[in-house]
Amino acid sequence: MQVSNLRLLLFSPFVPPLSLSPLKPSFSLFPKSKPYSLLTALASASSSHPKRRRPIPYRSPGPRSKSTLRHRDKAMEDKTESVSFNKRRAEGHDKNERPKKNLQRKVRALNPTNTIAYVQFLGTGMDTLDTSPSVLLFFDKQRFIFNAGEGLQRFCTEHKIKLSKIDHIFLSRVCSETAGGIPGLLLTLAGMGEEGMSVNVWGPSDLKYLVDAMKCFIPNAAMVHTRSFGPTHGSVGGPMADETQFTDPIVLVDDEVVKLSAILLRPSFLEGSHLPNGVPIMQNPREKVIDDSMDHASEPISPNGRSMLTGKPGDMSVIYVCELPDIKGKFDPAKAVALGLRPGSKYRDLQLGNSVKSDYQNIMVHPSDVMGPSVPGPIVLLVDCPTESHLQELLSVQCLSSYYADSSGPPENAKVVTCVIHLSPASLISSSNYQSWMKRFGSAQHIMAGHERKNVEIPILKSSARIAARLNYLCPQFFPAPGFWSLQQSDCLAPESTASSEGSVCESISAENLLKFTLRPYAHLGLDRSVIPSKVAAADVIHDLLSENPEVVDAAQCVSQFWRQSTETREEVNFVQEDTVMVEEPWFSENTLPSCLENIRRDDLEIVLLGTGSSQPSKYRNVSAIHINLFSNGGLLLDCGEGTLGQLKRRYGVEGADNAVRGLRCIWISHIHADHHTGLARILALRRTLLKGVPHEPLLVVGPRQLKRYLDAYQRLEDLDMQFLDCKHTTEASLNAFEGATESNKRHSSPGKDRQQKVDSTLFAKGSRMESYWKRPNSPVDDGVVFPILKSLQKLLSEAGLEALISVPVMHCPQAFGVVLKASERMNSVGKVIPGWKLVYSGDTRPCPALTEASRGATILIHEATFEDGMVDEAIARNHSTTKEAIEVGNSAGVYRIILTHFSQRYPKIPVFDETHMHKTCIAFDLMSINIADLPVLPKVLPYLKMLFKNEMIVDESDEMFDAASVAS
């Protein structure tokens, strides 16, 4: 059993930064080492979970003694005095002494016969329209993936597609839409086995900008091999090559399996722009690939009077041409005998394509004399034409002429295209120009893999969707129906053909999840729908649930009564469930409603937990993200892991999520680990697009200093329309200094000197290392930059109805923070002033005295609870918290309600917890939406949530994703 699970056990979550030194052209994107060997992981898994295979029975919560509470409070006091945590990890030095890896480029022994070959659609983004779909090109001994948007890992985990087998990743564009899943994918591959696995990443020369950005949070102790092709850019805004360069296909891969070429599409811009910098370009298409072992330095050239392309580097697009070798005709022995050949080695030479001399006749025998006609190899084109400007370039590309059915060139140069995969948007495909271009390929099969509404019928993450439907049935107040269910009722079916505005029709089909187009064997050439997931409806999910667990019907009725009873009366109410009477516990009546919740409105605050898992996405839980929905006042994001945009669209629907992104006031990131921020670029890019042409302010991103390096590097590739503020400038001490400086500014006519003196005296300890850093010339924390952004933060908080956003240093890794949000005071109908609510989010941390103090009197504490109570040693080693430790933090701080999140992916559906000390606590699930008006009943739902999963507490073997090899989160 253990052996069969080795691959699952090797999956690793995201990793922390180990070094911020500049990347070399040949660089490392994998961790230096892992804290545990595989054998240690197996031993830890078995010792830590002696009873994990046993179902955990459902028990109603029992009364708790006051002595138990006193004992717990005393233990918490002792814990606060001496908090256990991994100091070296918190300082970022826990693995520097480990030996470095040097992973070699992945090379596989190829099978020239290629008995199986196909393209398959890995439908990333199809139901939520948030990323570009991915396409798998499969051979017996090689795997290619085209585009790796956010959510690719979750999709492959769901459908058991082995990412470890991927040899090459090709990007049709280098931007957040097509490459958002690469950081997580690389980190997962890094954790496989004892040495990790490498992968080759290909893309236009813009690829270097993406990698320069990722180096800020991906360790450089092992290796990922990047191959960029096409013109190299100089500085930002500098020219690419002129339009006459790179007109021929650039051959990337050419072996006995496939010949894969790239054709560049560079959008047309205004002519006459003459910029001074550029690079020399190699003319031979075979030499146009820049290997990762070469220097990317650029050299200036003189302007040549031609128009230059001055767009962002990420504007370049690529058409990929995949050509399989011809299938040779059958050898005819009778013809060979007639030409005077004896059976033997010459037969083989002829089959290999070599001419031989006849044994009995004075002639040369050529392969064509004894071989039947060859069958042309299939040709597949992947076309990504994102804009009208790219389309103009596409229509003028001359090197595609040999692939057109109406080609006027020599017959021997004509190539018949088997399949064209269109990654272009549906709006562009429907244009008459694009339709006319499609028709030039004759009988080729056209498959539309761009964003189409038809694809919302089948959710990509069916396992997660089933859980969401079950939770919705039990408690719709906390688990609203996901957005895609409602879309199924609308008329969202796309036609099988795409019509242009002039009525011209080109036959095509819409891609679906896991749809295959078989290339080999030739007898099966064409579409294969055998593995397409079946449609799923919420009613079917509920029918299955009630068949398995009939008690859920009564449980749902009990839960619904929590909202029927008056929130103003705290009477004990009996709820009957079958033969069991569940009595409300005495501590519910003792738990007085905070004054901030007096006459609270439902449009004041809603907390939407978009991702509640740690390290890496799984079938059931995405990585960290929380949407603070302030309704008409906008919203905030607390952390933004990969797939956050997709989760927003699953919660609010496609249009509703766009509105939520438009309304974002601020995004706050807790620390630099990839599972907390790699969805950020996609959110920022979408907001920029949605607000194009609308007056607006750049979105404020508050995060650790290393995050700014990533965003600055990424902005060279794609405009993110944001401004950045370091978390440390939003700590209580920094904000007090800012307030003091502001007062000084009001009192004195020469405020600059007084302001700097005030900051020097209050922001950092006298003579401390940070004080000297603040005063350093050209420091990134120069007050001339920070103070205007702090004013901007103050303004946007005020507009959102918030009084403060305060970052709190916590114990996890260098520059890790929690956050406190305080709402402004309000006045009720009779003129009484009511204090605002207070929300605290821990980020990733050990139990932390500073966070405990910051949580005093909080209305809500959202605290990480990565491990179960019996795994304290693991929690300390990785600077995380156990369930009990997180609850003790909230109890000692007098928090009204505690929400536990960030669970290890070893708990696929529901974590292990002890109900007896959770009287004001609830477990978070993905897409759980908690309205502040419903806080009083939040803990009451917990026993029913556990009961909902009582038949599923046995861990599914295929779901086990032990992160014993993890160095992340």
Sign for the pseudo-dihedral over CA of 335, 336, 342, 343: negative
Does the structure show a pLDDT above 70 at 190? yes
Token pair 């001496």 is found at: 82
Q: Which residue has the higher pLDDT, 195 or 774?
A: 195
Residue 705: pLDDT band by 50, 70, 90 thresholds? very high
Does the structure show a pLDDT above 80 at 414? no
Closest Cα to residue 561, out of 103, 147, 19, 940? Answer: 940
Does the structure show a pLDDT above 50 at 745? yes
Does the structure show a pLDDT above 60 at 46? no
Does the structure show a pLDDT above 50 at 543? yes
What confidence score (pLDDT) does residue 268 get?
66
Give the mean model confidence (pLDDT) for residues 242-266. Answer: 83
Give the mean model confidence (pLDDT) for residues 131-147. Answer: 91
Q: Which tens digits make up the pLDDT trace of 51-101? A: 343 444 434 444 444 444 444 444 444 444 457 888 888 887 765 555 555
Question: Which percentage of the chain shows pLDDT scores above 70?
Answer: 69
User: Which of 117-131, 154-168, 510-524 shows the lowest mean pLDDT across its residues?
Assistant: 117-131
Residue 569: pLDDT band by 50, 70, 90 thresholds? very low
Does the structure show a pLDDT above 50 at 567? no
Closest Cα to residue 510, out of 446, 458, 457? Answer: 446
Q: Which residue has the higher pLDDT, 475 or 578?
A: 475
What confidence score (pLDDT) does residue 233 get?
55
Give the mean model confidence (pLDDT) for residues 568-575. Answer: 40
Does the structure show a pLDDT above 60 at 510? yes
Q: Which residue has the higher pLDDT, 163 or 268?
A: 163
Closest Cα to residue 154, out of 177, 205, 188? Answer: 188
Helix/strand/coil for 157:
helix
Residue 111: pLDDT band by 50, 70, 90 thresholds? low
**Helix, strand, coil proportions of the chain in percent (round to 5)?**
35, 20, 50
41 backbone φψ class: left, alpha, beta (φ>0; ψ -120 to 50) = alpha
Question: Which percentage of the chain shows pLDDT scores above 90?
Answer: 43
Does the structure show a pLDDT above 70 at 839? yes
User: Which of 260-269, 700-709, 897-906 shows the lowest mean pLDDT across its residues?
Assistant: 260-269
Q: Which amino acid is at 630?
A: L
Upstream peptide bond of 911 is cis (omega within 30 degrees of 0): no
Does the structure show a pLDDT above 70 at 112? no
Domains of the chain (ranges, CATH numbers):
333-369 (no CATH), 462-483+537-567+940-968 (no CATH), 603-744+783-924 (3.60.15.10)
Q: Which residues pair with 901 in a beta bridge?
A: 864
Residue 114: pLDDT band by 50, 70, 90 thresholds? low
What confidence score (pLDDT) does residue 461 get?
85
Does the structure show a pLDDT above 60 at 287? no
Residue 534: pLDDT band by 50, 70, 90 thresholds? confident
Pairing between strand 838-841 and 817-823? antiparallel
User: Hey, which bits of 712-816 come out as E strands?
Assistant: 722-726, 802-809
Q: At what angle do helices 182-190 and 207-214 cross, to 10 degrees?
A: 60
Closest Cα to residue 45, out of 951, 905, 913? Answer: 905
Q: Which tens digits make up the pLDDT trace of 421-476? A: 999 888 899 899 999 999 999 999 999 988 665 556 678 888 888 899 999 999 99
User: Which of 3-7, 442-446, 616-620 shows the lowest mean pLDDT across its residues?
Assistant: 3-7
User: Which of 154-163, 337-346, 435-444, 498-507 shows the lowest mean pLDDT across its residues?
Assistant: 498-507
Q: Which tens digits make up the pLDDT trace of 362-389? A: 999 998 898 888 888 999 999 999 999 9
What confidence score (pLDDT) does residue 51 get?
39
Does the structure show a pLDDT above 60 at 968? no
What confidence score (pLDDT) does residue 303 get?
31
Phi–psi pair at 432, nearest 5 degrees: -65, -40
Question: Among the ranges 39-43, 109-113, 697-701, 941-945, which has the highest mean pLDDT value?
Answer: 697-701
Give the mean model confidence (pLDDT) for residues 635-651. Answer: 95
Return all residues near 242 (Cβ < 8 A) that are at least 6 apart.
304, 306, 307, 308
First-to-last C-alpha distance (Å) of the chain: 28
- What is d(CA 454, CA 123) in angstroms, rounded to the nearest whole number? 12
Q: Which residue has the higher pLDDT, 838 or 580?
A: 838
633 backbone φψ class: left, alpha, beta (φ>0; ψ -120 to 50) = alpha
Q: Which tens digits make up the pLDDT trace of 787-821? A: 899 999 999 999 999 999 999 999 999 999 999 99
What confidence score (pLDDT) does residue 77 get?
47
Residue 722: pLDDT band by 50, 70, 90 thresholds? very high
Give the mean model confidence (pLDDT) for residues 905-923. Answer: 85
CA within 13 Å, CB half, 5? 18
Residue 406, token pair as written in the block? 């109406």
Residue 957: pLDDT band by 50, 70, 90 thresholds? very low
- The answer to whether the CB of 377 falls within 8 A of the CB of 326 is yes
Give the mean model confidence (pLDDT) for residues 16-24. Answer: 34
What confidence score (pLDDT) does residue 801 get?
95
What confidence score (pLDDT) does residue 484 get?
55
What confidence score (pLDDT) does residue 866 get?
94
Q: 239 vs 208, 232, 307, 657, 672, CA distance in Å?
A: 16, 9, 9, 36, 33
Question: What is the total residue count of the chain?
Answer: 969
Average pLDDT, the chain: 76
pTM comes to 0.80
What confidence score (pLDDT) does residue 613 get?
94
- The answer to whether the CB of 438 falls within 8 A of the CB of 509 is no
